[in-house]
């Protein structure tokens, strides 16, 4: 069995105690982290080594963003990618045995869902379009191999990926401009949404709850911003997908929760 988890940690050095608890409870073989908020030179390698991850690959930057792949199994073919005109540490990939893993942190896009007046939103749309072109251009290769894409995509594509579909249609993360592009990427790359495969619509699924909402656990106003997509060949090897809401109740939690898959 192989367990792969993904989590927007929202500052790894702050969340190290929670990471340690997750590793103790869930025993993942591979852990993909987003928003580590550390340069490579500042990354807490020693603490992560002590959790059992002897193979660590980081694409970091000072204070913002940053992605990392932690593994108990050797990693090969490490690549860092940049999209939509910025080198801002949002995409890293590696091979683990015969699986190609991509760990991606899509830009949030600001607050105004208009690319003409909000450059951050315009870049988010460009980011998704460019990354779609990269993966869809590899479609023949994807069909024949084990590919996994995970991370914080900052887009909740389906009606039941948000607490209120109608109210959030004009809120960044659930606008038609974003969801259309995300689903186009998934379709043209012929990838399967592993979480929705096991928890199909209309079940409500959330992975993020705002820090601005002190009563998040009562009113449950969440969004599903975190995703795991797999190639058709890898789908047949998935035993289950998992969503770990309990870690949102931790002391000093991330606003995101970990998700993962268990492979045969």
Q: What's the first-to-final CA gap in the chain, in angstroms? A: 5
* Whether domain 2-263 has CATH 3.60.10.10: yes
What are the backbone dihedrals phi and psi of residue 55, each rounded to the nearest 5 degrees, phi first? -125, 110
pTM of the model: 0.98
Q: What is the pLDDT of residues 171-193, one digit of tens each?
A: 999 999 999 999 999 999 999 99
Q: Which two tokens stand for residue 66?
A: 């940053």
Average pLDDT on 144-169 reads 98
Could you tell me the CA-to-CA distances from 139 to 71, 101, 143, 190 in Å, in that order? 27, 15, 6, 7
Alpha carbon of residue 211 to chain centroid: 19
Nearest to 105 by CA among 54, 42, 151, 156: 151
Nearest to 66 by CA among 10, 28, 27: 10
Give the pLDDT band of residue 63 (cuts 50, 70, 90): confident
Average pLDDT on 63-84 reads 97
Q: What is the pLDDT of residues 35-54, one digit of tens each?
A: 999 999 999 999 999 999 99
pLDDT, residue 163, reads 98
Q: 84 near 123, Cβ under 8 Å? A: yes
- Reply yes or no on whether the pLDDT at 145 is more than 90: yes
Q: Taking each helix axis from N to C terminus, what angle separates 176-188 and 119-136, rounded to the nearest 10 degrees?
A: 10
DSSP 143: H
Q: What is the pLDDT of residues 19-30, one digit of tens each?
A: 999 999 999 999
- Separation CA 237–CA 148 (nearest Å): 12
> Hunting for tokens 């929705």 — which residue is that?
196
Strand partners, 75: 96
- Separation CA 62–CA 247 (nearest Å): 26
Average pLDDT on 99-108 reads 98
- Average pLDDT over the chain reads 97
pLDDT, residue 39, reads 94
Give the pLDDT band of residue 32 (cuts 50, 70, 90): very high
Segments making up each domain of the chain, as ranges: 2-263
Give the pLDDT band of residue 124 (cuts 50, 70, 90): very high
């Amino acid at each position: 069995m192989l367990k792969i988890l993904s989590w927007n940690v929202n500052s790894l050095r702050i969340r190290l105690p929670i990471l340690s608890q997750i590793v103790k409870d869930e025993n993942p073989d591979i852990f993909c982290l987003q928003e580590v908020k550390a340069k490579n030179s500042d990354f807490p390698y020693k603490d992560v080594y002590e959790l059992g991850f002897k193979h660590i690959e980081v694409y970091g930057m000072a204070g913002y963003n940053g992605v990392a792949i932690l593994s108990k199994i050797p990693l090969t073919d490490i690549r860092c990618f940049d999209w939509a005109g910025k080198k801002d540490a949002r995409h890293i990939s590696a091979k683990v045995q015969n699986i190609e893993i991509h760990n991606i942190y899509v830009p949030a896009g600001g607050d105004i869902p208009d690319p003409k007046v909000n450059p951050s939103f315009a870049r988010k749309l460009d980011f998704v379009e460019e990354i779609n072109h990269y993966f869809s251009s590899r479609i023949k290769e994807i069909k024949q191999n084990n590919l996994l894409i995970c991370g914080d995509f900052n887009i909740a594509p389906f009606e039941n990926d948000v607490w209120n579909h109608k109210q959030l249609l004009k809120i960044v993360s659930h606008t038609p401009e974003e969801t259309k592009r995300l689903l186009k990427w998934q379709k043209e790359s012929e990838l399967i949404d592993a979480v929705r495969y096991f928890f199909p619509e209309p079940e409500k699924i959330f992975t993020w709850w705002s820090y601005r909402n002190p009563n998040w656990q009562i009113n449950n106003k969440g969004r599903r911003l975190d995703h795991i997509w797999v190639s058709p060949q890898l789908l047949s090897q998935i035993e289950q997908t998992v969503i770990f809401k309990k870690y949102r109740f931790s002391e000093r939690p991330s606003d995101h929760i970990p998700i993962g898959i268990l492979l045969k």
